Structure 1
Amino acid sequence: MVKKEKRFFDYSFLKNIINNEINKKLKQIYELNGLINDFSNIPEQTKNTLIKNSIFQSVTSSNKIENIVSTTNKIENIIFNNKKYTGENELEIQGYNDVLNIILNNFDNIDITKSNILNLHNQLYKYSNKTYLKGKFKEMNNYIFSIDQNNYKTVIFEPVDHSLVDDYITKICDEYNKRNDEKIIDPLILIPTFILDFLCIHPFSDGNGRISRLLTNCLLFQNDFMINKYISFEKIIEENLNQYYFTLRKSSTNWQYSQNDYLPFIDYFLDCLIISYNKLIDVNKKDYLENQIIEILTTSLIPLSTKEISERLVSISRRTLERKLKVLLEQNKIKKVGQYKNAKYKLT
């Protein structure tokens, strides 16, 4: 007989979980969040570019975390040209893009319920060949893995028995909605708590990580934190993936018995938000395109051609890029290697 975990969901304890370090981070985030409402000095074109890049990075990074990868060109075509592909990776990327756009455009109308979570999962796999998965909770038990750079998997958590999923998802949705309506617990504490519980339940046979990140976007938007519209939260997670798995492991220990420590995961969540806001500050302080070019050249081990740089910059025309490269050359911020068609660029 399968052993059932003794687990309850009562978020009232979160009122007393905030320590001095967490409190400082919360204060910092609320101060930084004011930037979203003061975009008057950022050109409309830059804002639109930010949004497009955020979508591209979110779709790319969230899928890449799950080893669902494709070429930059194909992902751009899926997102911006509505092009259809037949490969399974591209089909799942297309589904993620659809769900992300649903959230961006309709987050206020998405109640946090079991039914809506199932609907989001169904949409995620709308184009997939895995028809047996979509919109259904798992029918067999599964595990949470961490995946290293060599694609080696390590079990970090054994989720609840599949027979408990329906009940547990209903309970965490009810508890989140109850506490959020009360407006006593800070939403920036409540959101990562809900997301951790969702990940520990691991309700689906596949797609749990992606749905958790989509839900994170939705919950932040619903609570007036719009940073992810301009700076990809999924990209920040991908760039700090080892810490993500580390804190997930720490915060899930003894979760089955309601004796886990949520603070490591909450702390990680807040750190990622602060990184996002600081990236937005950089955009506000300096030219956005310049920042992007410098970042691309900084992370590249070899000089890059105009074409190679262009492939990494969504929604920037080739002509605009060439003009900016010329300015950066004149300012001695970058250096040209080679001439004419063979010209490539690197940092000075």
Structure 2
Amino acid sequence: MRSFADLDRLIGQVPASVVIRLRDIDTGRGSEGLYRHQLPALLTELAGRARVQSITASSAIEGVVVPDIRRAQQIIDGSAGKLRDRSEQELAGYRKALDYLFQEHWRPLNIGLILHLHRLLWSETTLKGGDLKIDDNIVVDRSPDSTVTVRFVPVPAAKTESYLVDLLDRYEAAQQAGAHHPILLVGLAVLDLLVIHPFADGNGRVARALTNALLLDAGYEVCRWVSLEQSIADTADEYYETLLRSTHDWHQDEADPWPWLGYFVGILASAYETFARKAAADRSGTTKQERVRTYVLRHAAPVFQLSEVRAALPGVSDQTIRLVLDQLKNEQRLMPEGTGRAARWRRIPLPRV
């Protein structure tokens, strides 16, 4: 099935739950310009954090992990020197691909762009990227007992190029026509790209990197400030499950796109909610210590780490966060558990009166 062959039939009737979330997205989009002018320092900090999260999370989804956080940061900011192993090389490659889409004029959207992203992804390894698959592939699950289950069968290698060119052409035409919500079109393009599965390896990372570019191109910039890849990593089971459900019977032109599109729209709407919450906190006029105190006592999980407070309150230093945590410990509102980077804090409920 080629999702863009008959869009009116496929997505002409949008489920009510998806309509609501699309409205939330468009509302959030309307605030982007306001925040850009009023909170430039906050957006710069959010963008830096989102970049790091996107690079590490999208890689981690594929099992590519650099355990040392400081080392990973050095790789991402380009100060790591010689890359030590395959994971470090692939992390650096995803950094190149994502930075290219965010910082360069990547237009036009064509097969050359897709190949270039794949080439960047593998550019730090000994493998050669930038070539379409030459053998048919399948996507499988491997259970702990070594049982292999086929999740779906991609497009045959012999048809990959023609399907990919057709997808990109039809996507561009659909966005220009404006008959369907642009977010649904981005979601469908990602779904079809993953089913085509044009490469022997790296398809998920190429698709997730390209998702950011397509959203930016459609006028939805939240992915600059909130990492969609991190949100996907946090909900990885749902991510894979909805993709699987929407790839069933794809080749027979009978697939149901709404499990995947519902998930995709939900992830984006949640990103806008996170963005709005962080912007509101920055504009609240309260002191940084008050913001930490409010977050810890009202919004944080019952047991949390300092890093979670840092992520929720950009612009607040670790020193300020530790100061407030110590104050709350002295007030017997928090109890520390452990020491060092792994330390956690447990909120102590107020006694009932």
Shared topology, TM-score over 0.5?
yes
Q: Does 1:21 align with 2:20?
A: no
TM-score by length of 1: 0.83
Q: Does 1:127 align with 2:116?
A: no
1:113/1:170 contact within 8 Å kept:
yes
User: Partners of 1:136 and 1:273 in 2: how far apart?
Assistant: 31
Q: Quickly say closer, same or farther: Cα 1:82–1:313, change in 2 above 3 A.
A: farther
Q: CA deviation at 1:36?
A: 1.6
Q: Quickly say closer, same or farther: Cα 1:148–1:83, change in 2 above 3 A.
A: farther
Q: Does 1:117 align with 2:122?
A: no
Secondary structure of 2:251's counterpart equals helix
Q: Does 1:98 align with 2:96?
A: yes
2:2/2:192 contact within 8 Å kept:
no
Secondary structure of 1:145's counterpart equals strand
Q: Quickly say closer, same or farther: Cα 1:343–1:280, change in 2 above 3 A.
A: closer
Superposed counterparts of 1:1-348, under 5 Å: 9-13=4-8, 14=10, 16-39=12-35, 43-71=39-67, 72-84=69-81, 85-106=83-104, 109-131=106-128, 134-146=129-141, 154-286=149-281, 290=292, 298=301, 309=307, 320-330=317-327, 335=334, 337=336, 346-348=345-347
Please identify, of 18-27 and 207-216, the stretch whose mean Cα deviation from structure 2 is larger: 18-27
Q: Which runs of 5+ in 2 are unaligned?
A: 283-287, 348-353
2:232/2:267 contact within 8 Å kept:
yes
Secondary structure of 1:286's counterpart equals helix
1:193/1:266 contact within 8 Å kept:
yes
Cα displacement string for residues 198-250 of structure 1 (whole angstroms, at most 9, x for unaligned residues): 10011100000000101110000001100010000001111111111111111
Q: Quickly say closer, same or farther: Cα 1:273–1:340, change in 2 above 3 A.
A: closer
Please identify, of 194-203 and 74-83, the stretch whose mean Cα deviation from structure 2 is larger: 74-83
Q: CA deviation at 1:47?
A: 2.1
The number of residues matched between the two structures is 334
Q: Quickly say closer, same or farther: Cα 1:292–1:244, change in 2 above 3 A.
A: farther
Specify the code of the residue in structure 1 equivalent to 2:192.
D
Secondary structure of 1:159's counterpart equals coil
Secondary structure of 1:259's counterpart equals coil
Q: CA deviation at 1:279?
A: 1.2
2:187/2:264 contact within 8 Å kept:
yes
1:11/1:179 contact within 8 Å kept:
no
Specify the code of the residue in structure 2 equivalent to 1:188.
I
2:338/2:344 contact within 8 Å kept:
no
2:303/2:346 contact within 8 Å kept:
no
User: Partners of 1:129 and 1:195 in 2: how far apart?
Assistant: 28
Specify the code of the residue in structure 2 equivalent to 1:91.
Q
Secondary structure of 1:347's counterpart equals strand
Specify the code of the residue in structure 2 equivalent to 1:144.
V
| Aligned match of 2:285 | none
Q: Percent identity?
A: 23
Q: Quickly say closer, same or farther: Cα 1:224–1:342, change in 2 above 3 A.
A: closer
Please identify, of 337-346 and 268-277, the stretch whose mean Cα deviation from structure 2 is larger: 337-346
Please identify, of 194-203 and 82-91, the stretch whose mean Cα deviation from structure 2 is larger: 82-91
Q: Quickly say closer, same or farther: Cα 1:68–1:328, change in 2 above 3 A.
A: same
Q: CA deviation at 1:154?
A: 4.1
User: Partners of 1:334 and 1:75 in 2: how far apart?
Assistant: 34
**CA-atom RMSD, angstroms?**
3.6
Secondary structure of 1:211's counterpart equals helix
Specify the code of the residue in structure 2 equivalent to 1:93.
L
Cα displacement string for residues 73-94 of structure 1 (whole angstroms, at most 9, x for unaligned residues): 2210011243231311111110
Specify the code of the residue in structure 2 equivalent to 1:70.
V
User: Partners of 2:160 and 2:177 in 1: how far apart?
Assistant: 26
TM-score by length of 2: 0.82
Specify the code of the residue in structure 2 equivalent to 1:75.
A
